[in-house]
């Protein structure tokens, strides 16, 4: 049905969808200044939830909604305990991720390895017939389409709208945002919940589309999404790029193993995101960036700088309190 390259690219877009969705969700949360470290457990719990709800009710919208509620609920615990109770966000997130993963395994036991419900594929008329691009981009289900346009939506929102500017400002310098009349903490709640709901949606994407049904081998995907937000230096386009890159490398490695061309252990590939993350952080913080800019022709300097410059939201993981 598909040629080799077509099916590889198609597969990458499918498998990267949950990581893209979770990554953009976490990006929104972190841009508001909140770290949700519970990503990994949240994805497992919401994937299990979507699977079970879809089986029990037969309703896919209900399954997706349930998964998003689970994601929002987990992040709600993080924000209440950090903004409300002044606990450490990292500590709370870490405990929650372990708790959610165990909860998913425990609650999901009766539904383990049962056939899952799949979201029907909805090819887009006319576009699906374009040679090569049709099969790669336009023969997917709704969740995959969503993952494809989400990056654009997030980019547009945070760089082109006033509320997006406000979102960036509360994660960067909450005092300055407060002085300009922004209700910092209510907005942090709102954006954290939105980001959490997207993480839940990523979980649903796994169990309803990518790895049908409920299996425990989802563990680790959330950490990769977290790493990709750092690798992407909190910029939507680069987060998407990172997700497709990592999933692409993973699928190439699997193909190579199958074809016995070279024997590359899958674990090596799984280590790549972490290497990339450390390298990116080194690059972004060591002044190497300015060197790159210095060697580019003057005409391109602003463009190159704009593409490369990025820094963590300065108020990430801190709490804001009016004196």
Partner 1 sequence: MLVELQNISKTFGRVRANQDISLKFEGGHIYAILGENGAGKSTLMKIMSGYQSADRGQIVVDGQALDLKAPTDAIAHGIGMLYQDPLDFPPFTILENFIAGRPGGIFPDRAAARQQLAAITERFGFGLDPNRYVDTLTIGERQQLEIVRLLSLNVRVLVLDEPTTGISAEQKTILFNVLKALARDDRMAIILVSHKLEDVIELCDLAYVLRRGRFVGEKTVPCPISELVALMFGKVVERQNRPNVMCGDSVLTVEAVRIAAQRLTVENVSLRVCSSEVIGLAGLDGSGQGEFIRACAGLFPPQSGTIKLNGRSMTRASYHDFSQAGVAFLPAGRMEEGLIKGMTLTEHFALTQRSPRPWINWFEARQITAERIKNFNVKGRPGSPIQTLSGGNQQRFALSLLRQNLKVLLLEHPTRGLDVESANTIWEQLLKRREQGTAIIFISAELDEIVSYSDRILVFFGGRATMVDDPAEMTADRLGELIGGRE
Binding site for partner 1 (CB under 8 A): 160-163, 165-166, 168-169, 172-173, 175-182, 302, 309-311, 314, 323
Minimum distance from CB of 181 to partner 1 (Å)?
3
The candidate with the shortest Cα–Cα distance to 71, out of 45, 91, 93, is 45
Tokens in use for 79?
């924000």
Give the residue with the Cβ less far from partner 1, 126 or 179.
Answer: 179
What DSSP designation does 212 have?
-
**Close Cβ partners of 62 (under 8 Å, ≥ 6 residues apart):** 53, 54
Structure token pair of residue 176: 């300055």
Q: Report in angstroms how near the CB of residue 176 gets to partner 1 at its nearest.
A: 4
Distances (CA, A) of 86 to 24, 80, 89, 92, 306: 26, 8, 8, 11, 36
Rounded to the nearest whole angstrom, what is the least distance from the CB of residue 238 to partner 1 in the complex? 15
Do 83 and 319 meet the contact criterion of CB atoms below 8 Å apart?
A: yes
Count Cα neighbours of 50 within 13 Å in the Cβ-side half-sphere.
35
Compute CA distances 79 → 30, 225, 229, 285, 323, whole Å.
12, 20, 19, 28, 20
Q: How far apart are CA 29 and CA 24, in angstroms?
A: 9
- Nearest distance, CB of residue 243 and partner 1, angstroms: 23
Q: Which is nearer to partner 1, 110 or 181 (CB)?
A: 181
Q: What SS3 class is residue 42?
A: helix
Q: How far apart are CA 206 and CA 49, in angstroms?
A: 11
Q: Residues with Cβ < 8 Å from 316, sequence gap 6 or more?
A: 30, 33, 34, 35, 171
By beta-carbon proximity to partner 1, the closer residue of 186 and 220 is 186
To partner 1, the closest distance from the beta carbon of 173 in angstroms equals 5
Closer residue to partner 1, CB minimum distance, 129 or 321: 321
**Nearest approach, Cβ of residue 321 and partner 1 (Å):** 12
Q: Provide, rounded to whole angstroms, the least separation between the CB of residue 169 and partner 1.
A: 5
Question: What CA–CA distance (Å, rounded) separates 132 from 81?
Answer: 49
d(CA 229, CA 25): 10
Q: Which is nearer to partner 1, 42 or 169 (CB)?
A: 169
- Decide whether 245 or 315 has the Cβ nearer to partner 1: 315
Q: How far is the CB of 290 from partner 1 (least distance, A)?
A: 11
Report the residue number, 121 or 161, with the smaller CB distance to partner 1. 161
Q: Which is nearer to partner 1, 27 or 53 (CB)?
A: 27
């Amino acid at each position: 049905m598909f040629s080799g390259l077509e099916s590889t690219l198609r597969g990458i877009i499918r498998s990267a969808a949950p990581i893209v969705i979770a990554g953009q969700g976490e990006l929104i949360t972190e841009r508001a200044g909140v770290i949700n470290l519970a990503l990994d457990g949240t994805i497992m719990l919401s994937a299990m939830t979507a699977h079970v709800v879809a089986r029990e009710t037969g309703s896919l919208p209900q399954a997706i909604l349930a998964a998003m509620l689970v994601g929002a609920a987990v992040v709600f615990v993080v924000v209440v305990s950090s903004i409300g109770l002044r606990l450490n966000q990292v500590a709370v997130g870490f405990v929650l991720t372990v708790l959610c993963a165990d909860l998913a395994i425990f609650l999901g036991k009766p539904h383990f390895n049962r056939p899952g419900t799949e979201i029907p594929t909805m090819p887009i008329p006319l576009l699906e017939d374009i040679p090569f691009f049709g099969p790669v981009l336009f023969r997917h289900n709704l969740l995959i389409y969503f993952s494809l346009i989400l990056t654009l939506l997030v980019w547009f929102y945070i760089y082109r709208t006033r509320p997006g500017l406000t979102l960036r400002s509360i994660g960067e310098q909450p005092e300055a945002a407060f002085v300009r009349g922004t209700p910092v903490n209510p907005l942090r709640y709102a954006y954290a919940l939105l980001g959490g709901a997207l993480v839940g949606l990523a979980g649903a994407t796994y169990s309803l589309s990518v790895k049908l049904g409920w299996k425990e081998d989802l563990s680790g995907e959330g950490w990769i999404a977290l790493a990709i937000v750092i690798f992407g230096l909190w910029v939507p386009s680069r987060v998407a790029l990172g997700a497709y890159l990592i999933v692409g490398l993973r699928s190439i490695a699997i193909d190579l193993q199958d074809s016995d061309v070279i024997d590359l252990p899958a674990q090596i590939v799984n280590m790549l995101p972490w290497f990339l993350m450390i390298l990116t952080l080194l690059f972004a913080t060591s002044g190497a960036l300015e060197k790159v800019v210095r060697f580019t022709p003057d005409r391109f300097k602003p463009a190159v700088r704009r593409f490369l410059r990025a820094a963590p939201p300065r108020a990430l993981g801190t709490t804001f309190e009016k004196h």
